[in-house]
Structure 1
Amino acid sequence: MTTTVPSPNAVDGCFLSYERDEPRFRPYVGAVLEVTGSCPGPGPVREQIAGRVDRMPGLACKVTRRGGRTVWELDPGFDPRRHVHEIRVEDGRPSLIRAVDALLGEPISAGAPRWGVWVIHGYSPDRYALFYRAHHAAQDGQAVLDALTALFGVGPAVPPRQAVADTPGGLGTGGNRDPLAWVRNIPARAIAQNAADTVRGLRSTLTWAPHRPLTGRTRLLSAAVPVSWPRDVAKALGATPNDVCLAALAEAVRDWVPAEWRARPGPGRELHVGLPVSLRRPEERFAVGNRVSAVRVPLSYWAKSPAGRVVAVARATRRVRTEGMRRVLRAQLECLPEWLVYRFVRQSCAANSAVDTSGLLRVPRRLAVGADPVEAVVPTLFLHGDHLFAVSFLSYQGQVQVSFTVDRALDDVGDLAALWADAVERLWREVTGSPVDPVDPVAAPVSPSGHAGPVSPSGHAGHAGARDPHASRPGENS
């Protein structure tokens, strides 16, 4: 299998420049994999990765300077075994939590391809974890999932699809790389919509003053619900499961924000998320670098009806999920100068821009380390600027996991992940009319972060009574 090794695009370059300008910035994305079995140590993990790394050729690429330009290049000394690290811990799940939280702030050396796998074990005789981390300049969210599937997926390698030749109308995905031709074939309505979004994006989104300085240190909170819950709600309301996840996010934040926090810039302002849109063409499946953009989407934060909020969010996201919008965003990626894209990225570091989110990603295949099955996958994001938290959603093996990366200054405010799981459950019961039932075995595994608490009687990995934002503190489950 071959890979495309292009010069870093504008988004790649922005993350590299941002890290250079702000040395404390940690732009890493990844996932925690909780594995059932007795940990074999790092050796077998190294061999499995070495035997499969050619399924994801971009893992061998590093960023470097050539002739005054920043470029991606294949690392001549690449050895995937060196990218696997071992962390031994004791004292049960709390030590796993502490190890994961500590790794969120650890840099990865720029002298080699910037990804790694940390084998965390010793906290349980029959469970261990792998923490996959990659620099966002090299991998977007979809690339992280491709890497996980390549390295740990059960079954044969998945080859990339072939590029489709461009048609005279410019509707294909390969061949023609003339950026101006690409722009000329973008529907005028999509261009106008994108321009309107840009103007609206200048208005501040809803945020709050927590009356305490942020620390820059983060922790991971997570919880799980059965995948059938957001799917059932989405089907009933003409939405998507991602719409349901976002609507539940708005309700969880409403429950989480303490009454004494003053809203900025004032009451009535809408809360937005930066909804990612994948721009990856079929032939770019294993290319290094980012193929993603984002569109600001309102969450109908003040809606009185949770079901009505889902409908409103679905209406807002529907226009984003069009081929015309993807073409507009792809043209921006290919045509805008890096200095301008960097300006947009730096603007997004302000909390009043939008909440950072991954959208609902899906791991399409079961994962395993040797014969040991991966039971849960929790995605991880990063914080930048004065954001209070970032949120990510991921579907794997019958569960939807939510993860919040939260500044440690807010440890005593409440468990956003548990509140989100509670909001999804209430939505599901309201829309489907389902009564309280016994523990759902699909949702029984506790999430790797451990902060979601024990499995509640209603079936999700969360806190009973989590509607009270102060009923459970993130540290109390550690």
Structure 2
Amino acid sequence: MQSSTPLPAQAGDAVLMEMAPLTHAAQMYIATALILEGEAPGAAEVAGHLAPRVGRVPGLWHRYAERAGRPVWQPQRVRAADHVALLPLGTDAADAGLDGLMREVRRRPPVSPAGAPMWDVLIATGFAPRRWAVVFRCHHTLMDGGAITHTLDQLFGDGPRARRRSFLGGALLPALPRLPSAAASVLRAALPTAPWPAPAAARAEGSATYAVTEPLELEAVKRPGATLSQVFAACFALAADSWWPLPGDREVHALVPMDLRVPGEQRALGNHFAPMRLALPTGDPAHVLAGTGAQMAAWPTPGFRAALDLTIRRITPFPATLALGRRISSGVCCRAVVSSVRSRNPLSFNGSPVLDLVPAIPAFPGHALSSVLWSYQGRARVAFGSHTSMPGVGALPQAWEQALKSIQSLPPEAGAGAVAG
């Protein structure tokens, strides 16, 4: 049974809401297109599929509101049919395939009624023969990548129900020694940086460009002695430098959201990540891989993730957290957002399996570039987005794949040992 009690929102939720002027709120939507084979169903059939499942995910029946100056999540009755719409592609978009599909997805204004929870489902057709897509979109304030994977499991899979941990999650003792380094990591994300000054137009721009790689075997991205996140970030640095060569120290200052959930936990409403900053080196691939790993070395340390969670949610006063979040998101600190998400469970619609998952994350105002690696069923795609006032991102997928080849051609000892796990 759905509760009628409002839930407190996090400072990060409020910051992400402030980044999305209502004139182009869809640009702050995270989108995942689930590609299926056959004839597409109608809107009524999809709404009927969603209706009994919406109650499983708190993020689908809460809306963002403010009470006495504090953000909250207000429960609300939801009618699934109000959040479903058709998206037939025109000739120009259809000729562009998946890139054209996702560009249309990002241009389409929100479907949900005014004042309703900020999510919708589009039924897309016309981008490929005998293919259709069910596209789940939600405002970044409502859910982060971890929450969306749980939502997809509930709507189109057989994933477990949401499980929340206790107040401190049983992680207080291992977290205490890591609190100073956790606090320093959060403060580091707020330091100013010079490279990649986004044009003034990008600070309030709603339109965006988009490109995505072909499916990659996840095993091909992995490398002995390095984590998947390390390889992904190193490839991003090499590709981004070719996209827009950097002045000065030639470092790509990127914000990397670190998921604060413990294994198996599902926080399915709002955002639960720590803003981690990487000053990614450029140039020689071995130097880039080693430098990236050195900066990420503390991340898998026992207690570090719990210490970040305590610092952000429990120790730092809400006004201070809000001010810090506003600064980090202002565009004067990190100039790029780089994230990775994993959908672990198989998905389907009415018995038809999902063949592919194509992601898109927001083009954040004031930030030059955003990228996400989203894996599903042993394969991954890397998507890129930027503002139309910035250089086009069409060449970035090929540049990223070329960077991966250069890193995988390195000898085994190059960059190894920099990151545990």
Which SS does the other structure have where 1:239 is aligned?
A: coil
Provide the rounded CA distance (Å) in 1 between the counterparts of 2:266 and 2:120.
Answer: 20
Answer with 1 or 2: which has the greater Rg: 1
Partner of 1:334: 314
Unaligned runs of 5+ in 1: 174-181, 433-478
Amino acid at match of 1:319: A
Q: 1:384 aligned to 364, 389, 403, which one?
A: 364
1:348 to 310, 315, 328: 328
Q: Which of 297, 317, 327 is residue 278 of structure 2 equivalent to?
A: 297
Identity of aligned residues (%): 25
Provide, for residues 125-173 of structure 1, a one-character-per-residue CA deviation record: whole Å limited to 9, x for no partner: 40012221111221111001111121112xx341344746x8xxx7706
Contact 1:205 1:272 in 2 (8 A): no
Correspondences of 1:253-272 after superposition (within 5 Å): 253-257=240-244, 263=246, 266-272=247-253
Deviation at 1:68, TM superposition (A): 6.5
TM-score (norm 1): 0.74
1:356: Cα distance to partner?
3.9
Query: 1:393: how far off?
Result: 0.8
CA-atom RMSD in angstroms: 3.2
Per-residue deviation, 1:229: 1.2
**Counterpart for residue 71 of structure 1:** 72
CA, structure 1 residues 358+2, in 2 after alignment: closer, same or farther (shift >3 Å)? farther
Which sits farther off after the overlay, 67-76 or 375-384? 67-76
1:229–1:395: structure 2 CA closer, same or farther, 3 Å change rule?
A: same
The 2-side partners of 1:325 and 1:145 are apart by 23
Match of 1:104 in 2: 106
In the TM superposition, residue 404 of structure 1 has moved relative to its aligned partner by 0.5
For 1:40, what is the secondary structure of its paired residue? Answer: coil
Q: Secondary structure at the match of 1:378?
A: strand
Q: Which string of whole-angstrom CA distances, capped at 9 and with x for unpartnered residues, describes residues 361-408 of structure 1?
A: 111012122233222212221123332210111111222210001212
1:367 and 2:386 correspond: no
Comparing 50-59 with 137-146, which one deviates more in the overlay?
50-59
SS in 2 for 1:409: coil
Match of 1:251 among 209, 219, 238: 238
Match of 1:319 among 292, 298, 311: 298
Residues in 1 aligned to 2:256 and 2:379: alpha-carbon distance in whole angstroms: 21
- Quick check: 1:172 aligned with 2:152? no
Letter in 2 for 1:427: I
SS at match of 2:389: helix
1:55 alignment counterpart: 56
Asked if the contact 1:272/1:298 (under 8 Å) is kept, the reply is yes
Contact 1:207 1:352 in 2 (8 A): no
Gaps of 5+ in 2: 413-421
Work out the CA distance in 2 between the residues paired with 1:98 and 1:208.
Answer: 28
Cα pair distance change 1:299/1:96, threshold 3 Å: closer
Comparing 330-339 with 32-41, greater Cα deviation is found at 330-339
| Structure 1 contact 256–414 (Cα < 8 Å) conserved | no
The residue matched to 1:423 in structure 2 has which SS?
helix
Residue 191 (structure 2) aligns with: 202
How far 1:348 sits from its partner (Å)?
A: 2.9
Cα distance in 1 between the residues matched to 2:212 and 2:97? 16
TM-score, normalization by structure 2: 0.83
Q: 1:299 to 1:109 in 2, by over 3 A?
A: farther
Q: CA deviation at 1:243?
A: 0.7
Conserved? CA contact 2:254–2:338, under 8 Å: no
Deviation by residue 1:453-473 (Cα, 9 ceiling, x = unmatched)? xxxxxxxxxxxxxxxxxxxxx
Distance 1:15 1:359, change over 3 A: closer
* Structure-2 change in CA distance of 1:28 and 1:413 (3 Å): closer
* Partner secondary structure for residue 138 of structure 2: strand
* CA distance, structure 1, for counterparts of residue 183 and residue 226 of structure 2: 22
Task: Give the C-alpha shift of residue 196 in structure 1.
Answer: 6.3
Deviation, 1:256, is 1.9
Cα deviation digits, residues 92-129 of structure 1 (max 9, x gap): 34376445324424345441111111111134440012
Task: Report the number of matched residues.
Answer: 403
